[in-house]
């Protein structure tokens, strides 16, 4: 069930950026709160507000020079095809796409970026979002 909530969250963010919206409302669950907090920490959104009564999260999108900060988000690992990355694969992809790509990985320590996984060493996990 969590995968479908994450897929819904990502598709809503993609559509909101294409329509140049200021904010978007998504369903609230543990995975979506962690994901939204992570992209806020990275600096890809302006902020977010948890709406307890509506069981949702209001995400404030970020633009730079009237262009979206996030061009496109996509889910890589799917229920029918799980993709796991080791530290070696992470470091190879980091060298190739260090500036243009941010990968979000689900590990035993929670959701982290590929940069954090490389810094912590010995952390690998399921590859969620690029």
Residues 114 and 61 in one domain: no
User: What Cα–Cα distance (Å) separates residue 64 from each residue in 58, 71, 117?
Assistant: 20, 12, 28
Residues 6+ apart with CB under 8 A from 22: 60, 61
CATH number for the domain harbouring residue 59? 3.30.1370.30
Per-residue pLDDT tens over the stretch 1-47: 466 788 888 899 999 999 999 999 999 988 889 889 998 998 889 99
Residues 46 and 93 in one domain: no
Tokens of 4: 């479908």
- In a domain, residue 78? The reply is no
Q: Please choose, from the candidates 33, 59, 38, the residue with its C-alpha nearest in 3D space to the C-alpha of residue 48.
A: 59
By the 8 A CB rule, do 7 and 75 touch?
yes
Tens of pLDDT, residues 86-122: 677 666 766 665 556 777 877 777 787 777 777 776 6
Tell whether 29 and 54 lie within a shared domain.
Answer: yes
Same-domain check for residues 6 and 37: yes
Tell whether 6 and 64 lie within a shared domain: yes
Boundaries of domain holding 105: 84-129
């Amino acid at each position: 069930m969590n995968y479908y909530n994450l897929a819904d969250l990502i598709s809503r963010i993609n559509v909101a950026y294409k329509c140049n919206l200021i904010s978007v409302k998504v369903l609230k669950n543990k995975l979506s709160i962690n994901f939204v907090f992570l992209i806020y920490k990275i600096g890809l959104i302006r902020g977010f507000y948890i709406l307890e009564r509506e069981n949702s999260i209001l995400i404030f999108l970020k633009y730079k020079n009237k262009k979206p900060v996030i061009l496109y988000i996509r889910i890589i690992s799917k229920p029918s095809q799980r993709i796991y990355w080791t530290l070696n694969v992470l470091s190879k992809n980091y060298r190739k796409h260090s500036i243009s790509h941010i990968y979000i990985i689900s590990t035993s320590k929670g959701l982290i970026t590929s940069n954090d996984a490389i810094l912590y060493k010995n952390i690998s996990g399921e590859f969620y979002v690029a």
